[in-house]
Structure 1
Amino acid sequence: MSGRETPPGATDCHCHIFGPAAKFPYAEPRSYTPEDETLEDYLALLDRLGLDRGVIVQPSAYDRDNACTLDALRRAPERLRGIAVVGAEATADTLRAMHRDGIRGLRANEYRRDGQAAYHGGVRLAEIEPFVPLMAELGWHLQLWIDARHLPEIEPRLAKLPVRIVVDHMGRMHHSHGINDPGFQALLRGVGEGRYMAKLSGTYRLGATAPDYLEAKPFHDVLVAANPDALVWGTDWPHPRPEGGRPDAARLLRVFLDWTTDPVLRRKILTDTPARLYGFPGV
C-alpha cells in the first residue's frame, strides 16, 4: 500500500496478542504454541497499515487467563478494546472490572470438527449464557466462533439473547460449500435482518488461495450487499495456526479495499460500526 487509503478512526476488529511468554505463560493443554507477538509489535503493525484502533480477541492458547489481553488494553486504552473469554469461574465483579479495562464482549467457541472441539481452550455458549443479563447492562456483545454450517442448530438459543451477536470470519466454513449453503444462508439472513453482525475477516480461513483469496469474495460481496451497517473487518493478526502459509496483514487489507471500493462503505465498516460496537469515541 502506498499512502493511506483508510478513513480516520479505521479499526482492525480482530487481532491477538501473545507474550512475552516468560511473563504470560500459555495454557496447558493447548493446540498451538505461538511465538511472542507483543503489544509493541501490534501497534507498529497498525501504524504501518494506516489503522488507528484495534480489538484484541482473547486467543485459545491462553484459555481463560485474560492477563495478557488485559495488560495490553491497560497500556494503550485510547487505541484498543478487547473481547474476553470467561466461564463459570467469573463473577459480576470480574466482568465489571474487565469493562473498566476496555473489554466489550465475550467470545463463545462453538467451532467443531467432526463433533469435537477444533482447539483446546475457549468457552462454549452454555457457560456464557448466565452472564448475558450483565452483558446487556454493560452494552457488551457475544462474539461467536462457529462454522456457519452449524449455526442453524443454535439459532433458537441465540434468538433469546438480548445482546448483539457478532460472527467471526464470515462464518468460517470452507468456500467449497458455497454461499447457498443453508448455514451460510442463515448467517446472511440474520445479517440482513440485523439479528447478527459479521466480521469480514479470515478470508484465508475459508480455504481461499493467496494472494488474492478470490474464492472468498462471493461471501464478502453478499454480506456487504445484505447489510453493510452490520459488518466490521479485521486482520486476524498474527494469524495463529493458519491453514497453509501465514498470510500478510497488509495484503489482507489490500484485498478488503479492492473488494470494497466505495468510500462510504469503507467508512461504515472500518470506522463507524466499530466505534459503536466497541465504544470508541466518534471521529
Structure 2
Amino acid sequence: MTSHTQAPLCQAPDPEIRSPKIEYPAGAVDCHAHVCGPATQFPYARERIYTPPDATLESYQSLLGMLGIDRAVLVQPSVYGIDNRAMLAALRAHPQKFRGVAVVSNNPNDIQDQELEQLHAAGVRGIRCNIVDVADKSAGLPVQNLKSLAERIKPFGWHLELLMHVNEYPNLAKVFENFPVDLVFGHFGYSHAKHGAHDAGFQGLLDLLKNQQAWVKMTGPYRICDGDLPYSDMRPFNDAVIKANPKQLIWGSDWPHVMVKKQMPHDADLCDLFGDWVTDPALRKSILVDNPCILYDFPAFNAEQN
C-alpha cells in the first residue's frame, strides 16, 4: 500500500453527535456519499492521491440515523480506482436502502456485458468519471470515450456522472449536445465561486439543465468557495440551478468530506443550510425524494423496510 507521505491522510469528518434543526421528508435520499474502508478489508488503490480515514458503512448508517435521512446513493471514491467491492458490499447489505454509482475501466471495450449486468443487479444505476482527481490532465476531456461508455450503459437506463470543473469548458453545452444518456454533474458543476454564476461553462451547464440533458448535485459548496459556513458565495449558484430546472436537482451530504482542507463542516449544518437555501417544502420534497427516485430507480419507500 502507498505510504501516507505519498498519499496524504485526510481530515476526518466531525464526530459530534448532533441532529439538524430541519426535518427531512420521509424517503429522503442522500445522493452523494462514500464508503471508505475498513482499509484492512478493502485496501485503497496504490495510485490514489489521498488517503481517507476509514469511513465505514456502519458509521455512515449511524450518520443517516442522526440526520433523519432514510436512503442513500453511494458513489465510488477515487481512492478505490475501479475496485468497487466496498461500495457493492454496502449495496448488497441494504438493497432497499442504497443505490450506487460505480467506476469502471476508462476503455469501454474492457467492460464485459456480464459485469454491467452484475453491477445493475447489485443496485448500481450510473457510472462515475472523475476528470479532476487524476494525475495526467494533459489529454483533456475524453469525449469519444465518454460517448462510447454511454452507449454501453444506455440499455440499463443508467446515467454518466461527471466530476469536472465546468468553468474549464466554455462550450460545455455544445460538447454534450445529443449525448446518449443523462449526465449528472457533481458539486454544482465544481466551478469555484470566484468564476461567478455567469461563467460560460456554468451557463452551459444551465442550458443542459433546461434541456433536460443534465442533472446537478447540490453538494460540496465548501469545496468551491473560500469561506466557511454559510458559504454565501455559493448562494447564486444554488438559485441559478433551481431557476433553470428544479426537476433535475438532487442533494447530497458528500460524507465523509474527503480532502477538505478548511474547517470541516458538520453534516447537521449542511442539512440546515439546504433548508435555508430551499425554503419551499414542496421543492424540498422534489429534490430530496421525488427526483432521486427517478434518477436512481428507487423502489417505493417503505419505512418498515428501512
User: TM (normalized to structure 1)?
Assistant: 0.92
Q: Does 1:209 align with 2:227?
A: yes
Q: Which amino acid is the alignment partner of residue 66 of structure 1?
A: N
1:108–1:125 CA contact under 8 A, matched in 2:
no
**C-alpha displacement of 1:124:** 5.6
CA distance in structure 1 between the aligned counterparts of 2:77 and 2:20, rounded to whole angstroms:
31
CA distance in structure 2 between the aligned counterparts of 1:113 and 1:67, rounded to whole angstroms:
21
Counterparts of residues 1-283 of structure 1 (less than 5 Å)? 1=19, 5-87=23-105, 88=107, 89-111=110-132, 116=137, 126-153=144-171, 155-283=173-301
Report the more deviating stretch, 184-193 or 148-157.
148-157
CA distance in structure 2 between the aligned counterparts of 1:196 and 1:69, rounded to whole angstroms:
24
1:201–1:233 CA contact under 8 A, matched in 2:
yes
**C-alpha displacement of 1:161:** 2.3
Task: Name the SS of the counterpart of 1:32 in structure 2.
Answer: coil
Q: Any idea what the Cα deviations from partners look like across 1:9-63, whole Å, max 9, x if unmatched? A: 1000000000010010000121111111000111111111111111111000001
2:171–2:204 CA contact under 8 A, matched in 1:
no
**Structure that is richer in helix per residue:** 1
**C-alpha displacement of 1:176:** 0.8
CA distance in structure 2 between the aligned counterparts of 1:168 and 1:3, rounded to whole angstroms:
25
Report the more deviating stretch, 232-241 or 208-217.
208-217
> Any unmatched runs of 5+ in structure 1?
118-122
> How many percent of aligned residue pairs carry the same amino acid?
40
Q: Which amino acid is the alignment partner of residue 44 of structure 1?
A: S
Q: Any idea what the Cα deviations from partners look like across 1:130-179, whole Å, max 9, x if unmatched? A: 33233111110010111011234554442242211011100112101100
CA distance in structure 1 between the aligned counterparts of 2:49 and 2:134, rounded to whole angstroms:
14
Q: Which amino acid is the alignment partner of residue 93 of structure 1?
A: Q
C-alpha distance 67-112 of structure 1, shift in aligned 2 (>3 A): closer
Task: Name the SS of the counterpart of 2:259 in structure 1.
Answer: coil
Alignment root-mean-square deviation, CA: 2.1
**C-alpha displacement of 1:102:** 0.5
CA distance in structure 2 between the aligned counterparts of 1:171 and 1:78, rounded to whole angstroms:
29
**C-alpha displacement of 1:126:** 4.6
CA distance in structure 2 between the aligned counterparts of 1:27 and 1:77, rounded to whole angstroms:
26
CA distance in structure 1 between the aligned counterparts of 2:143 and 2:89, rounded to whole angstroms:
25
2:166–2:172 CA contact under 8 A, matched in 1:
no
2:130–2:162 CA contact under 8 A, matched in 1:
yes
CA distance in structure 2 between the aligned counterparts of 1:109 and 1:256, rounded to whole angstroms:
25
Task: Name the SS of the counterpart of 2:169 in structure 1.
Answer: helix
C-alpha distance 280-144 of structure 1, shift in aligned 2 (>3 A): same
Task: Name the SS of the counterpart of 1:81 in structure 2.
Answer: strand
2:35–2:60 CA contact under 8 A, matched in 1:
yes
C-alpha distance 98-114 of structure 1, shift in aligned 2 (>3 A): closer
C-alpha distance 71-126 of structure 1, shift in aligned 2 (>3 A): farther
> Any unmatched runs of 5+ in structure 2?
1-18, 302-306
CA distance in structure 2 between the aligned counterparts of 1:205 and 1:124, rounded to whole angstroms:
24
Say how many residue pairs are matched.
278
Identify the structure with bigger relative contact order (alpha carbons < 8 Å, sequence gap 6+): 2
CA distance in structure 1 between the aligned counterparts of 2:22 and 2:220, rounded to whole angstroms:
22
